[in-house]
Amino acid sequence: MTEKVKVRIDGEVIAATPGQTILEVARANNKYIPALCYMEGLSAVGACRLCMVEVSGVARLLPACTTPVQEGLAVVTSSPQLQSHRKIALELLFAERNHVCAVCVSSGHCELQALAQDHGVTHVRYPYNYPRLTVDTTHPRYVLDHNRCVLCSRCVRTCAEIEGAHVWDIAGRGIHSRLVSELQRPWGEATTCTSCGKCVQACPTGAMAEKGWGVEEMTKQPAVLSRLTSMREGQ
Amino acid sequence: MANSLVTALPHPEDQDLIDRIIGDQAGRPGALLGILEKLQDHNPHKYLPMETLEYVAARTGVPQSQVYGVATFYALFNLEPQGTHTVAICRGTACHTRGSRALLERVKLQLGLQEASDGADKLTLTTPDRHFTIRTVACFGQCALAPVVEVDHAIRGHVKEQALMREVDALRKERAR
């Protein structure tokens, strides 16, 4: 057994294993830190900036999902400043694409929607970007709607790390970033896709869905994918 | 090799070249960037055709989506054929206030080019005869010389519309000869 380090999360002293991240320690001890791009069992990328926490002695906010714990670390997971930052991050996600919950298959089961409700996002203070985006319906079983994509890259990592196919990646840069399959081939024509549907299960919004579901009907089980990784590690 | 996945192959001579370039860089972390850069440099039209990207992916074992991601992330890679002459107009703040938009519009008009409406930050337009490519650049770092235009890799400062038009005209005539 490796030596434990003592960290303080919201005042409570917790024994953690070196190498764990703040988010992992917090989740293991029932401390809630919101996150969108983090998924248990996948590598962490720190893309959504919702898990930002205050660490004593550090002037700036740090992402909990990529910051490893150290002896004596003291973390604050919620404060007016953090709440305001998280709200801004969520509003920017809404402003960037065309998120219309009323017509979305994932409404009611959407992580973005749930986070917005938790953080009291009643309106978006920024002008909407209204990008003109496509919907890829070429796959026989699944559909990809770029309008609802938040670029969390959970599908990219699920496909690369769990399925091992690496069909997806993010192309372009900044506001022009888009999810692409292979060399921007339509999903249905992707030669490496195994049609396993893991990316669909990993997607936190309605960007990826199974065909044949109506509004509010698409539910997903990302936890199954996380379990898959932990079972493989146990082997 | 995973060649069975390749749907369109580059020319056999190009395949040799690609294999050689990959061989030089093989195994080094981040080799993909160097490979793509060399390949673009060797291309007569200074761009990376889709077949090349597909072939590189099959040969290096890097997933196609990742190759595509790298090629679209870096502004230095072109996925479209480039013109013989390049006119790069700075659209940074300093150059903007000194009239770089007018320069851009003027050159576009002169070469009969129309802006594609995809709204990308980086504007790259090539004439149908592939003689000229005009592109915008965020900043050359020569703001004291604003407005700055780069013609075939030579920086020009304090560019005036008339001077730029004369320069483009000269390059045009060069081809006529």
Q: List, for residues B74-105, the tens digit of each pLDDT value.
A: 888 988 888 889 899 998 899 999 999 899 88
A-B Cβ pairs (cutoff 8 Å, strict): 49
Sign of the torsion angle spanned by Cα atoms B75, B79, B85, B89 = negative
Q: Which residue in the set B5, B68, B120 is minimally distant from A191, CB to CB?
A: B5
Confidence grade of residue B4 (pLDDT, cut at 50, 70, 90): very low
Q: Which residue in the set A169, A172, A176 is minimally distant from B66, CB to CB?
A: A169
Average pLDDT estimate for A97-106: 94
For B38-77, the DSSP string reads: HHHHHSTTSS--HHHHHHHHHHH---HHHHHHHHHHSTT-
Instruction: Write the CA distances from A113 to A39, A98, A168, integer angstroms.
Output: 17, 13, 24
How distant is the Cα of B165 from the closest Cα of chain A, in angstroms?
A: 32
Cis peptide bond N-terminal to B147, omega within 30: yes
- Is B27 exposed, middle or buried, given 0-12, 13-18 or 19+ CB atoms closer than 10 A? exposed
Tell me which residue of A151, A154, A144, A136 sits closest to A105, measured CA to CA: A144
Q: Is A174 left (phi over 0), alpha (psi -120 to 50) or beta?
A: left
Has residue B177 got a pLDDT over 70? no
B3 touches chain A (CB under 8 A): no
User: Domain extents for chain B?
Assistant: 2-73, 85-176
Q: Which residue in the set A184, A191, A192 is minimally distant from B68, CB to CB?
A: A184
B85-176: CATH, from 3.40.1160.10, 3.40.50.620, 3.40.30.10, 3.40.190.10: 3.40.30.10
A72 touches chain B (CB under 8 A): no
CA–CA gap between residue A66 and residue B64 (Å, rounded)? 27
- B125: three-class secondary structure by DSSP: strand
Has residue B36 got a pLDDT over 60? yes
The Cα diameter of chain B in Å comes to 56
| Complex-level ipTM | 0.87
pLDDT in tens, B111-140: 888 776 555 566 788 888 888 988 888 888
> Which amino acid is residue B18, in one-letter code?
I
User: Chain A 161-190, CB below 8 Å of chain B: which residues?
Assistant: 166-176, 180-184
pLDDT in tens, B42-57: 888 888 999 889 988 9
Tokens of B139: 């900043």
A169 contact residues in B (CB cutoff 8 A) = 63, 65-66, 68-69
When scoring B7, B53, B64 by the number of chain A Cβ atoms within 10 A, the one with the most, hence best to mutate, is: B64
User: Chain B 36-65, CB below 8 Å of chain A: which residues?
Assistant: 50, 53-54, 57, 63-65
CA–CA gap between residue B95 and residue B100 (Å, rounded)? 5
CB-side neighbour CA atoms (13 Å) of A85:
19
User: Chain A 124-163, CB below 8 Å of chain B: which residues?
Assistant: 156, 160
* Residue A199: its H or E element: helix A198-202
Tokens of B99: 């009239």
Tokens of B159: 């560019």
Determine whether the interchain pair A170/B69 forms a contact, defined as Cβ–Cβ distance below 8 Å.
yes
Q: Is B56 left (phi over 0), alpha (psi -120 to 50) or beta?
A: alpha
For A45-72, the DSSP string reads: ---S--SEEEETT-SS-EETTT-B--TT
A5-78: CATH, from 3.60.21.10, 1.10.3720.10, 3.10.20.740, 3.30.1490.190: 3.10.20.740
Q: Chain A: residue nearest B52 by CA?
A: A183
Determine whether the interchain pair A171/B73 forms a contact, defined as Cβ–Cβ distance below 8 Å.
yes
CA torsion A178→A183→A184→A189, rounded to 10°?
-140
Q: Strand B85-90 to strand B149-151: parallel, antiparallel, or no bridges (unpaired)? A: antiparallel
B120 contact residues in A (CB cutoff 8 A) = 176
How distant is the Cα of B62 from the closest Cα of chain A, in angstroms?
A: 9
**What pTM value is reported for the model?**
0.85
Confidence grade of residue B173 (pLDDT, cut at 50, 70, 90): confident
CA torsion A59→A64→A69→A70, rounded to 10°?
0
Q: What is the pLDDT of residue A1?
A: 58
Q: Let me know: does A140 contact A25? Beta carbons within 8 Å.
A: no
> Which amino acid is residue B124, in one-letter code?
T
CATH topology of domain A103-234: Alpha-Beta Plaits (3.30.70)
